[in-house]
Amino acid sequence: MRQSLPKESNILEVEKKWQSKWEEMGTYRFDWNDLERPVFSIDTPPPYTSGEFHIGLVLNWTYFDVVARYKRMRGYNVHFPQGWDCHGLPVEVVVEKANKIKKTDVPPDQFRKLCMQLVEKNIEDMKKSIMRLGCSIDWSTEYRTMNPDYWRRTQLSYILLYNKGFIYRGKHPVNWCPRCETAIADAEVEYDTRNAELHYIKFKLEEGGFLEIATTRPELIPACVTVAVNPNDERYAQYVGKSIQVPTTDRMVKIIADEMVDPKFGTGAVMICTYGDKADVKTVIKHDLPVIMCIDDKGRMTQSTGKYAGMKSEEAKKAMLADLKGQGLVDKAEPLTQEVSLCWRCRTPIEILEREQWFMKTRILTDDVEKNALEITWYPDYMKHRLIDWAKSLEWDWVISRQRVFATPIPIWYCNNCNEIILAKPEWVPIDPRTEKPKIAKCPKCGSKDFRPERDVLDTWFDSSITCAVHAGWPDRKDWHRLFPASMHPSGVDIIRTWAYYLMVRSLALFNEKPYQSCLINGMVLGTDGREMHKHLGNYVASLEVMSKYGADATRQWATAGGATGSDIPFRWPDVEYGWRFLIKLWNASRFVNDLIADFEMNDKGEYALQPLDKWILSKAERLTKKVTDALERCQFSIAIEETRNFAWHVFCDCYIEAVKDRLYKPEHYGEEKRKAAQYTLYTVLYRILQLLAPITPHVTEEIYQIMYADDKGSKSINLSPWPALDEKLIDEETEKHGDLIVAVIHEIRREKSEKHMPLNAPIRKLKTYAGSKDFAKIIAEGKEDICGTCKIEDFEVLSKKGDGREVANYGDVHFVMEC
């Protein structure tokens, strides 16, 4: 005898109960000792420890948790690790603001400690959310990129890449955030449009007269190294090669011709400064022009600007314009909207400065990136172009050094005497050159014992772009290739250019191998109004608010049902509420089925006197299994959830259960065999529904499984039960057609009753059916028992001719006349 299901299910409590039980039982541990099952490894993103596990991350984590759960049921030994990406600017910025300090105001150790405290607290909050979402993570794998053990791996990868010639130090223009006082990579630059003013300024020609140029940044005039015009611009052809004076200075520069100049912008003559933008960088390199750095690390004008030195650029702009006006050199100003480059973290406009930095050679790998991107399976497929296009668009190598504190140190020292670079040996790491000396007696080149540390640190992407290898156990486990390349790398559409790209180039450079075999891309979560989600737009939803109100299983239904994989999806409360109502429906239906099958036991032969409707739903359940399996194989989660919910709610609950109730209640009328057949069908189909739902709604399905099925089925969790093996011979088109017609007749009779305000269980004295054809008459006659039982018909007549009466929806030839 089975346990009964409680009448009311407290879904939220059930979820929490299973979350801690799974953890106690070690349900989701990866088994290194299991050499039988195939391995499936997920390259879980270590989320940036901002402190909030926002709704966008809920979408990501739901996606790959569904994959993990599905793969386990398919018999894989699933490796689903979880780490935390701790370092970097955002944490430093918060610490600076909270303590009202700048990174340089306190000793690095102290600043680092403040950062670590904040990160630990943030991790605690974020971990709660991931657990609340019910992710089947193997928590024994947890790691932090700020810990020495991870430093060791990041630094080792640096040393290996250095020795392979992929890392170099170079003086090169870099994107620079004057607020954060650090170089940032192309991938960290964001773009926005702002209103600006285009100033028309007169430059004096050496031979007399003026040339007018237009610029939005007159404060850069002291760094003007040439004036350029388009070679096809006839207005200026005569001036090319002539000298022109840089206003407010006594410097003369040559006028050059370059196709990059747009003759339609401003006056068609532009000044090239070092540096106003990336176009300036190109022109300077192409024409081998000198560099005058006019802005410093803090965004102030340098000594080379003369009287403007020390001013912020906005001040310098005003002062410069006043001076130019005084000399009568300003013609006019026009409003202009222009695209500006911003620091991704603090949204300060970036400057382009020339700085000595560490770089990783990435552009030489572009062909290789493309080749591997094409070999990888992408969900959805078109996303591969995002990676390829990005790789091809890069003009600069990856600047990997940062002028910050809270990051992995670069394992480098310099000889103070001869400037020799001392690279750490692999066995020295983890090491912090800022506090530790190199483990050598003297400089190998000059014998000096005087060293200075590299104070720059590594870009945080340099930490997180080796996760595939670290998850696999590199460099400590000899068998790390069991998990490498990762089976699946999940990524948001917004971080393909960073995470997916950096992983790829690093892995190709380090191991000469791709890091992942497939890439699962999720879109962005939009606000409740369909716009980008922002706190200040009032369309913001906190993930914990959703989960504490409706729990994980409802939230996960929203995430999976929200839209096609890879597309942006809005957050919609009604979707979560629908998911919640579905869980209640599933619970109530299971409870009802459980009561109906209380005395049911599988017979030895597994053979039952299946009736047309039993065969009908068994065939449909099999067809559903095929659809859901196909969908999950292709990471089309929305199809999997929608198909299963529709089947469970409308086919199983609304049609089948209703149609067999009478058979179950009255064995004396139908016979015990037919009752057992209905019990068997209910038992089998409900189990199938639970299994197909388990990857998406793991908690409620687990609770029902444990009460109704665990003893029979033997798996310790539904999440570890074997995925239903498809039995194609159970799919029978004819059977389904017959059942569809019988169900349609039942429905129509019930509709007629309710329109006549009759109770559904009110008897019908006589029902005459005009089937319209012999075939239909035969089918309806086959379903006679279920039709009469469900609709309480005393006298049921089926005629094959056409006739009048109420038409059965979707079956225009079938009519019936009801006599009460």
Q: Which residues lie across from 490 on neighbouring strands?
A: 520
Angstrom distance (rounded) from CA 354 to CA 281? 10
Peptide bond into 430 cis (omega under 30): yes
Q: Which of 78, 114, 376, 415 binds Zn ion (CB under 5 A)?
A: 415
Q: Which of 302, 366, 377, 417 binds Zn ion (CB under 5 A)?
A: 417
CB of 451 to Zn ion, least distance (A): 9
Segment (H or E) for 728: none
Angstrom distance (rounded) from CA 664 to CA 666? 6
- Percent helix / strand / coil, the chain, rounded to 5: 45, 20, 35
Q: How far, in Å, are 84, 566, 769 from residue 65 at the CA level?
A: 17, 16, 51
Q: Is 420 in the site for Zn ion (CB under 5 A)?
A: yes
Q: Among 163-171, 306-314, 443-451, 634-642, which window interacts with Zn ion (CB under 5 A)?
A: 443-451
Q: Is 383 in the site for Zn ion (CB under 5 A)?
A: no
Residue 789 token pair = 């039982």
Residue 216 token pair = 């939005």
- Please list every residue from 174 through 233 that binds Zn ion, using CB under 5 A: 177, 179-180
| Four-residue CA torsion sign, 7, 8, 13, 16 | positive
Of 112 and 402, CB closest to Zn ion: 402
Please write down the HEC assignment for all residues of 325-342: HHCCCEEEEEEEEEEEEE
Q: Is 446 in the site for Zn ion (CB under 5 A)?
A: yes
Q: Is 377 in the site for Zn ion (CB under 5 A)?
A: no
How far from chain centre, in Å, is Cα 775? Answer: 53
User: Where are the alpha helices (H) located in 515-633, listed in sequence order?
Assistant: 543-561, 573-596, 612-633
Direct distance between the N- and C-terminal alpha carbons of the chain, in angstroms, rounded to an integer: 41
Of 334 and 450, CB closest to Zn ion: 450
CB of 346 to Zn ion, least distance (A): 3
CB half-sphere exposure, 516, CA atoms < 13 A: 31
Of 180 and 214, CB closest to Zn ion: 180
Q: Is 445 in the site for Zn ion (CB under 5 A)?
A: yes
Q: Which of 270, 443, 472, 618 binds Zn ion (CB under 5 A)?
A: 443
Segment (H or E) for 352: strand 351-360
Q: Which of 10, 104, 435, 448 binds Zn ion (CB under 5 A)?
A: 448
Q: Among 369-377, 417-425, 505-513, 642-650, which window interacts with Zn ion (CB under 5 A)?
A: 417-425
Q: Which of 35, 322, 374, 418 binds Zn ion (CB under 5 A)?
A: 418
Considering CB under 5 A, how many residues would be counted as binding Zn ion? Answer: 15
Residue 453 token pair = 């540390």
CB of 381 to Zn ion, least distance (A): 36
Residue 687 token pair = 């189990």
Of 345 and 675, CB closest to Zn ion: 345
Per-residue contact flags (x/-) with Zn ion for residues 295 to 334, judged by CB under 5 A: ----------------------------------------
CB of 111 to Zn ion, least distance (A): 17
Determine whether 383 is exposed, middle or buried from the number of CB atoms within 10 Å of its CB (0-12, 13-18, 19+).
buried
CB of 412 to Zn ion, least distance (A): 14
Per-residue contact flags (x/-) with Zn ion for residues 339 to 368, judged by CB under 5 A: ----x-xx-x--------------------
Q: Is 449 in the site for Zn ion (CB under 5 A)?
A: no
Angstrom distance (rounded) from CA 274 to CA 281? 7
Of 87 and 699, CB closest to Zn ion: 87
Angstrom distance (rounded) from CA 205 to CA 269? 13
- Please list every residue from 560 through 599 that binds Zn ion, using CB under 5 A: none
Of 214 and 343, CB closest to Zn ion: 343
Q: Please, what is the Cα angle at 22 between 19 and 24, to 5 degrees? A: 110
CB of 460 to Zn ion, least distance (A): 14
Q: Is 820 in the site for Zn ion (CB under 5 A)?
A: no
Of 350 and 541, CB closest to Zn ion: 350
Residues of this chain that bind Zn ion (CB under 5 A): 177, 179-180, 343, 345-346, 348, 415, 417-418, 420, 443, 445-446, 448
